Each structure stands twice: as C-alpha cells, then as structure tokens.
Amino acid sequence: MTRFAAVAFDLDDTLCRHDHDVDALYRRAFERAGVEPFSEPAELWPLLDGPPDPDDRVGYLGAGFARLAAQYGRNVDPVALAEAFEAVADESRVAYLPGALDALAAAAAVGPTGVLTNGPERRQRAKVEALGLDGRVDAIVYAGDLPRRKPHAAPFERLTAALSVDPAETLYVGNSLGYDVAGAHNAGLRSVWLRGDPDDVAEPYRPDYVVDSLEELAALLTEGCESSGSESVGDESEEREPGSAGRGSGGAAAGTEGDR
C-alpha cells in the first residue's frame, strides 16, 4: 500500500460556504436594479442552469432571473438584475464548513497541501484571504485563469507540479462528482467525494472514498498517518460502506459548488 504524499481540496462547498444573509442580499439586488421584488431567493436557485460559469456569472444569473420573470409575468431586464446581484455580493463573506480546520490540519500531517478551485483569482482571492488559506496550504491553483478548468486534467497537473508530488500519491477532496471526482480520475489522482446528502450515490462515478463530513475526512487522514509501515489511508483491500470514510461504490448524483 502506498501512503499519500499530499492532500488537496476544492474550495466552495468543500472547505467553505457563503456566509451571506441571502434574503437581504436578494432584496438589495432588486433595490439596486430599481425593480420591485416579485419572488423569494429560494425560487431562483432551481432555475439556474447547472453550476456557475466563472467566465459569465452575469449571464448565468441572468438566465435564472429571465425564467423567474417569465413565471411571474414581469417585464424586467434580467441582465440588470444579475449585474446588481453581482455588485452587492461580497465574496469575502465566507466561513469554513464544520470540520474544515481539523481536516486541513490532518492533511498537513500527511504532507504538502493545496487548493484547486475552478473560479478565477479575481473572484476567489477574497475568499482565500478571508479564510487565511495562504498560511494553511502550500499551493493554490485558480483554474478559472487557465485555458481549461476541472474536470480537465490540466488544473490538477498544475496543482501536483506546484506541490512537487506524483499525482498517483495525491488525494483530492471535493463535493462534485462531475468536476472533482471526474477531474481527479482524469489526472491520475485519488479522490474523496464529500457528499451533501447521505442518500446520494456515486454511480456512474467511482470515487475512492466517500465521506459525509469533513470530520470523517480528518479521522480518515489521521488514521492513515498513524498506521504503521505499509498501512495507509489508501488501503484498496478494505471494503467499507460509502459514507463511513471508506471507498465509494454507489449510485447517481452530482454536487455543485460556488465556482465550479
């Protein structure tokens, strides 16, 4: 068995989440656009088309507002609403998810640590600074500034090069099957899927591990560090149930994050 040489993480909805008062943010966006509010925030999110597009956040949000306006029979400029939403959003309003600091500490005990996010630096830098991640990890890769983002292999290759580690000895942790797990597989990394719902299943993807919390991940990494000799967190001979910090083998759902 090969001990992992490094551990890396996705950012949004893996290590952190937005800490906004969503209702207040939504109202401020309508006020800034000069539009009388005609819906609730919870009605917008299901109308957004997949994960955010880091290259066109306004277009992504605008499409949702256009659908919402049509449902309410309102004649508004959805792009103006999207621009207002982006203008009032504060990217530094983020908080660590429960267990994130323990997971980062456990990862640092394994070896070099890194963050790979699909967002560009201009958007994600405020989050990194607010969380103090510069002092907690050894490398940060902003795939939104590269020619290809996750799930392409190139961002993962940039990450492992920055950490000076072999991809096969690197563990990548993320909440999205289609971006994090698929991307890690394409680049030859091992993967941990942080699933958002214990009822979600992984098929047709095949994450190496499935955890339901970052506390489980910290325990998994600590267990690997404390294993003697040839033992490691990457023990392929162990068969565990998905969601118990073991290898994943389940059914069909994909998570998303802020800047996939």
Q: What confidence tens digit (pLDDT) does each residue in 165-177 have? A: 999 999 999 999 9
Q: 11 — alpha (psi -120 to 50), left (phi > 0) or beta?
A: alpha
Q: How far apart are CA 97 and CA 118, in angstroms?
A: 18
What pLDDT is attached to residue 3?
76
Mean pLDDT of 121-131: 95
What pLDDT does 225 receive? 58
Interval 124-141 mean pLDDT: 97
Q: Any residues with CB less than 8 A from the CB of 165 and at least 6 apart, and which?
A: 5, 6, 111, 112
Whole-angstrom distance, CA of residue 59 vs CA of residue 2: 45
pLDDT per position as a tens digit, 65-95: 999 999 999 999 999 999 999 999 898 999 9
Residue-level pLDDT at 252? 29
Is 91 in contact with 127 (CB distance < 8 Å)? yes
Euclidean distance between CA atoms 91 and 18, whole angstroms:
8
Please state the pTM of the whole predicted model.
Answer: 0.79
Check pLDDT > 50 for residue 53. yes
For the cut 80, the answer to whether the pLDDT of residue 237 exceeds it is: no
Residues 6+ apart with CB under 8 A from 27: 37
The average confidence (pLDDT) of the chain is 86
3-state secondary structure of 235: coil
